Amino acid sequence: MTTITYSIPPFLNPGDQVGVLAPASIVQYQELIPGLNVLKQEWGLKIVEGTTLKSQHHQFSASDQQRQQDLQAMLDNPEIKAIIAARGGYGCSRIIDQIDFTTFLKQPKWIVGFSDLTALHSHIQQLGVASIHGPMVKSMMLDGAEEARGKLKSMLFGKAIHYRAPADPLNRTGHAQGILAGGNLCLLSHLVGSSSDLDMSGKILFIEDVNEYLYNLDRMMLQLKRAGKLANLAGLIVGQFTDMKDNEDPAFGQNFSQIIAGHVAPYHYPVAHQFPAGHVAHNLPLCMGAPAHLEVTASHTLLTYTPTAALSL
């Protein structure tokens, strides 16, 4: 297992500058205004808006070059203490290899987002920096997102996080200690073999997805399994798999939980199903690259961590 020292970026303080940009798909600026107002008025942050918030290139927020330049400028700006994505969609993988992380690694800052942002999370975690899989500016104002939004603020401002979730019949009990990693299952499977691919050995893996056919979910789990990503985990957290689709006739024969449980059945680490994070309003933020403790019992799932300056595993 590769030894990496994970750096936790400095936590935020009121008055800090935070960049907001759209590194993937197009976003409607007016949909961001409520979230931007919360960041400014309730959290006391100063917002630096990226050029990609008000542009369009086909389905993308801007051309690959423009999106890369927008992200690069925020990574290199020493006054910007965190970067929060406006939305995900598709596009981060198209620019990741053109990003220069030299300045970022000398002065790490928080990167926040989920879905397509999994590519960026995985890449910078592979470089040894923690980031936050959590609500974006567009999604943080959804009905039902109040707790997730509050937890994101707590996480960014350096408070310890403790999550308790109900038990699930497919859970596998046990305790796990390790670095939290993962994100969108589709992205994780596509990153295998790339420079953004993570060594999952000894880590607590989190997975979630949306709008996938069940047979394709099975294929993605097989990809991780055949690539050796599932055998040596410390633990597995299965988030929300929303709007899953099945063949009309014949059906696949298993739901998403059964598919995942089947692929990890040969192993012995704890598994927590139905964790409240993913493509849902109640999308609890997770600090990827931070040391975490997972407890799965017959009555509950407990996920806790206290971010520290660095941890080697």
Q: Which of 121, 273, 279, 293 is catalytic?
A: 279
Mean pLDDT per 10-residue segment, the chain (313 residues)? 74 98 98 98 98 98 98 98 98 98 97 98 96 98 98 94 96 97 98 96 98 98 98 98 95 97 98 98 96 96 73 32
Residue type, 65: Q
pLDDT at 70: 98
Q: Which of 208, 212, 273, 293 is catalytic?
A: 208
Q: Which of 115, 122, 189, 196 is catalytic?
A: 115
Specify whether 115 is catalytic.
yes
Specify whether 208 is catalytic.
yes
- In tens, the pLDDT along 37-76 reads 999 999 999 999 999 999 999 999 999 999 999 999 999 9
- Residue 14, CA distances (Å) to 131, 133, 152 in order: 19, 22, 14
Cα dihedral: 82, 92, 211, 161 (round 10)? -20
Dihedrals φ, ψ of 72, to 5°? -60, -40
Q: Record the pTM.
A: 0.96
- Residue 248, CA distances (Å) to 180, 214, 217, 245 in order: 37, 11, 16, 9
Specify whether 31 is catalytic.
no
